[in-house]
């Protein structure tokens, strides 16, 4: 495309922006190509992408394996409807159960929808098994999605005043505080629901004592333990599921983000004792469609290869080491997280300015809040790409620092 055509295209794109509901500030960039760990904008400028669709593109942008799964499955069958079996749906459910403590899967299309299903399942179980108990304990700063019920379950302060009245029945407790959690339990409590690493809150891991204590509380009070692994699942934290880092056996788990490697599919998993939906209680038009299931199966087949997860742990240490050095050199704060869900506290330097500067330089980062940078690259990222990212960050920080002093 020549320069004139390009600038006309960009002008036209700007004009069309008014037809999109403005739900988030977006930079004036139009990405048109993604390949592995890089995105390319309309001018051909490359961006090393450590956001990857928000911890979604498990294998990077447009991996061949997903292209092939999409092509092969869509040539055969796209959607027979959710009330029929299809083979990819069965194969994927089988794979997920074989590699976890769960026996049954319900497929959905987004993390929020899977969590909505988890909340419904817990309430159904409460009706059948616990005299109508329905309250779910969730945690401050936790994030579970943007449907009305999942926003009600979410512990983000900024959600509190929105869309009132919320769905009732959620009791929020400070994270990592076992005694406060036990005090919040009453006879109508049915479940405890949490993320094992609070992602949107700024990558806050749950303490092992806390998580194992929650499991004990659930046994003692006959409650379900629901783990939201929408962000942590599919090897993001260096084990296939984050609950495997702990000595626990959850009753319900939800998956989303990384499961489809960029395509929309999520899942709700449980065991046979907890699975209690009656016909008609749960469903969804696109749920379990063979195209998304074939894609997720291809993603899992890659992630389950013997060297894949060890690579995540190696590269995780490498990234943490690089960030530790950066933190020491620029007087920044803590580096924390597991696997390839890592945060760096930026202390007095604005994380949002870092994100903007880095983007100008061709590096995409995420700031879950003004003091935290979050790194969630594709699980296939290499050491040399980490080196490039750290170098770019060093450049940005040097620039911001001279600017502050000057
Ligand atoms: C992203 C996320 C969700 C919501 O997933 P959507 O696909 O955006 O609906 C829920 N829980 C956690 C922990 C998440 O990170």
Which one of the listed residues 228, 241, 251, 345 is annotated catalytic?
Answer: 228
Tell how far the Cα of 264 is from the centroid of ligand 1, in angstroms: 12
Whether 226 and 127 have beta carbons less than 8 Å apart is answered as no
User: Which residue in the list 257, 338, 345, 375 is annotated as catalytic?
Assistant: 257
Please report the beta strands in 210-261, taking only residues with DSSP state E, as ranges in sequence order. Answer: 224-228, 252-255
Residues with beta carbon inside 6 Å of ligand 1? 110-112, 115, 143-145, 195, 199-200, 228, 230-231, 256-257
Going from the Cα of 8 to the center of ligand 1, the distance in angstroms, rounded, reads 37
Q: Which of 53, 231, 343 has most ligand 1 atoms within 8 Å of its beta carbon, as the pocket-test mutant?
A: 231
Q: Which atom of ligand 1 sits closest to the CA of residue 145?
A: 4
How far is C-alpha 28 from the chain's CA centre?
25
Q: Identify the pLDDT of residue 406.
A: 43
User: Which pLDDT score is estimated for 404?
Assistant: 64
Distance, CA of 205 to CA of 105 (rounded, Å): 26
The two structure tokens encoding residue 212: 């194992």
Catalytic residue among 143, 170, 241, 375: 143
Per-residue pLDDT tens listing for the chain (406 residues): 688 888 888 888 899 999 999 999 999 999 999 999 999 999 999 999 999 999 999 999 999 999 999 999 999 999 999 999 999 999 999 999 999 999 999 999 999 999 999 999 999 999 999 999 999 999 999 999 999 999 999 999 999 999 999 999 999 999 999 999 999 999 999 999 999 999 999 999 999 999 999 999 999 999 999 999 999 999 999 999 999 999 999 999 999 999 999 999 999 999 999 999 999 999 999 999 999 999 999 999 999 999 999 999 999 999 999 999 999 999 999 999 999 999 999 999 999 999 999 999 999 999 999 999 999 999 999 999 999 999 999 999 999 977 765 4
Q: pLDDT at position 6, please?
A: 83
- The Cα–Cα gap between 36 and 56 comes to 13
Query: Can you give the pLDDT at residue 221?
Result: 98
Please confirm, yes or no, whether 257 is among the known catalytic residues. yes
CB 376, CB 366: distance < 8 Å: yes
CA 255 to ligand 1 center in whole angstroms: 9
Residue 6 CA to ligand 1 centre (angstroms) = 36
Nearest CA to ligand 1 atom 8: 111
pTM of the full predicted structure?
0.97
Compute the distance from residue 114 Cα to the ligand 1 centre, in Å: 9
Using a 10 angstrom Cβ sphere, with 0-12 exposed, 13-18 middle and 19 or more buried, the burial of residue 305 is exposed
User: Which residue has the least CA distance to atom 5 on ligand 1?
Assistant: 111
Of 373, 363, 366, 323, residue with least CA distance to 343: 373
Residue 258's pLDDT is what?
98
| Paired strand residues for 270 | 104, 252
Atom of ligand 1 nearest to the CA of 112: 9
pLDDT at residue 403, rounded to an integer = 72
Confidence at residue 39, expressed as pLDDT on a 0 to 100 scale: 98
CATH domain 64-303 topology: 3.40.640
Question: What is the C-alpha separation between 184 and 58, in angstroms, rounded?
Answer: 37
pLDDT attached to residue 289: 97
**What's residue 310's pLDDT?**
98
- Res 405: pLDDT: 54
The set of residues, in sequence order, having a beta carbon less than 8 Å from that of 288 and lying 6+ positions away, is: 82, 86, 89, 107
């Amino acid at each position: 495309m020549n320069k004139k055509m390009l600038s006309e295209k960009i002008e036209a794109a700007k004009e069309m922006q008014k037809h999109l509901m403005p739900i988030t500030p977006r930079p004036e960039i139009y990405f048109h190509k993604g390949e592995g760990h890089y995105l390319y904008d309309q001018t051909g400028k490359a961006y090393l992408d450590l956001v990857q669709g928000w911890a979604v593109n498990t294998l990077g942008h447009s991996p061949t394996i997903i292209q092939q799964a999409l092509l092969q499955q869509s040539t055969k069958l796209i959607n027979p409807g959710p009330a029929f079996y299809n083979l990819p749906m069965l194969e994927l459910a089988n794979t997920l159960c074989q590699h976890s403590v769960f026996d049954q899967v319900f497929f959905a299309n987004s993390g929020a929808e899977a969590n909505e299903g988890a909340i419904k399942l817990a309430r159904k179980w409460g009706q059948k098994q616990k005299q109508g108990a329905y309250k779910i304990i969730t945690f401050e700063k936790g994030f579970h999605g943007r449907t009305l019920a999942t926003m009600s379950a979410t512990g983000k302060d900024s959600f509190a005043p929105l869309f009132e009245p919320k769905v009732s029945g959620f009791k929020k407790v400070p994270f990592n505080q076992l005694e406060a959690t036990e005090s919040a339990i009453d006879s109508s409590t049915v479940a405890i629901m949490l993320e094992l690493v609070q992602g949107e809150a700024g990558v806050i891991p749950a303490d092992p004592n806390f998580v194992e204590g929650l499991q004990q509380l659930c046994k003692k009070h006959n409650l379900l333990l629901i783990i939201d692994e929408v962000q942590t699942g599919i090897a993001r934290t260096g084990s296939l599921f984050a609950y495997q880092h702990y000595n626990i056996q959850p009753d319900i788990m939800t998956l989303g983000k990384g499961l489809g490697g960029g395509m929309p599919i999520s899942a709700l998993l449980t065991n046979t004792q907890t699975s209690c939906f009656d016909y008609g209680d749960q469903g969804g038009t696109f749920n379990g469609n063979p195209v998304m299931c074939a894609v997720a199966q291809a993603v899992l087949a890659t992630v389950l290869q013997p060297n894949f997860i060890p690579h995540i742990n190696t590269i995780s240490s490498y990234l943490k080491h690089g960030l530790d050095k950066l933190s020491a050199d620029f007087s920044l704060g803590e580096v924390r997280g597991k696997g390839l869900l890592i945060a760096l506290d930026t202390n007095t330097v604005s994380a949002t300015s870092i994100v903007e500067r880095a983007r100008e330089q061709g590096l995409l980062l995420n700031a879950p809040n003004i003091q935290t940078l979050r790194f969630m690259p594709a699980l296939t990222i290499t050491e040399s790409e980490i080196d490039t990212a750290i170098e770019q960050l060093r450049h940005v920080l040097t620039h911001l620092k001279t600017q502050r002093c000057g």
